[in-house]
Amino acid sequence: MNILIADDEPFMIKIVKAYFEKEGFNILQAQDGEEALRIFYAHPIDLAIVDWMMPKVNGIQVCKEIKKQSTTKVLLLTAKGEDEDELIALQSGADEYVRKPFDPRILIVRAKKLLQMDRLIYLGDLKIDMDGQKIYRNEQDIQATHTEFHLMKYFIENRGIIISRKALLDHVWGFDYYGEERTVDTHIRRLRAKIGDHTIKTHRGMGYSLEENNE
């Protein structure tokens, strides 16, 4: 997905760009409103993150122009802190408004919500539809069972963390389940056969984890 970041502070762009690229986004950057609009008209943009106080053309004007011409989502950044300013931003057509300073991780969460990416998760060649409870590999439905989907969901929610068999049993099968922990191994083996062996890593004597380098 293409994200336009427009801000007249190069250091701000550098930080935000690094965080978003780590999440797999393609970043286009501008340091004033005119450049932001040139990029918008030259490239397909999924989300524009625009600073309010920019030279040449301010963020409010950029937002209005983008909204007049497209359905692209716009998130306005500003150091302004008055409620009236937020009202002006939203009336300009902005979909979201974030005050500076901010935690880049929160900005990413807000951006993903605007793009509805919190309901569609991408991991390499996999797409997980959280609402439809389906898993796709190369856009093909792998026909995951109820248990397989919920295993995948729990791994996603705890990516980068080693999860023990007992924890998987408790959270996927339920705390009142009294079956063997090896049940987990059987279901993970079946899930791997559908999604690929590289996605879920085995940690001997400890449990399993979702491989972050396949996000």
DSSP the chain: -EEEEE-S-HHHHHHHHHHHHHTT-EEEEESSHHHHHHHHHHS--SEEEEESS-SSS-HHHHHHHHHHH---EEEEEES---HHHHHHHHHTT-SEEEESS--HHHHHHHHHHHTTTTSEEEETTEEEETTTTEEEETTEE----HHHHHHHHHHHHTTTS-B-HHHHIIIII-TT--S-THHHHHHHHHHHHHH-TTSEEEETTTEEEE-GGG-
pLDDT at 81: 65
Of residues 32 and 159, more confidence is placed in 32
Reading the block at residue 125, the tokens are: 């060649």
Confidence band, pLDDT 50/70/90 cuts, at residue 214: very low
Whether residue 118 has pLDDT greater than 70: no
Mean pLDDT computed over 46-70: 93
Using pLDDT thresholds of 50, 70 and 90, give the confidence band for residue 101.
Answer: confident
Q: Residue 215: its pLDDT value, please?
A: 41
pLDDT for 18? 93
pLDDT at 169 > cutoff 60: yes
189-194: average pLDDT? 96
Cβ-based neighbours of 155, under 8 Å, separated by 6 or more: 163, 200, 208, 209, 210
Average pLDDT score over residue span 168-175: 86
The chain-wide mean pLDDT, for the chain, equals: 88
* Domains and their CATH numbers in the chain: 2-114 (3.40.50.2300), 120-214 (1.10.10.10)
Q: Is the pTM of this model over 0.95?
A: no
Percent over 90 (pLDDT), the chain:
53
> Does residue 204 have a pLDDT over 50?
yes
Q: How far apart are CA 61 and CA 67, in angstroms?
A: 10
pLDDT given for residue 155 in this prediction = 92
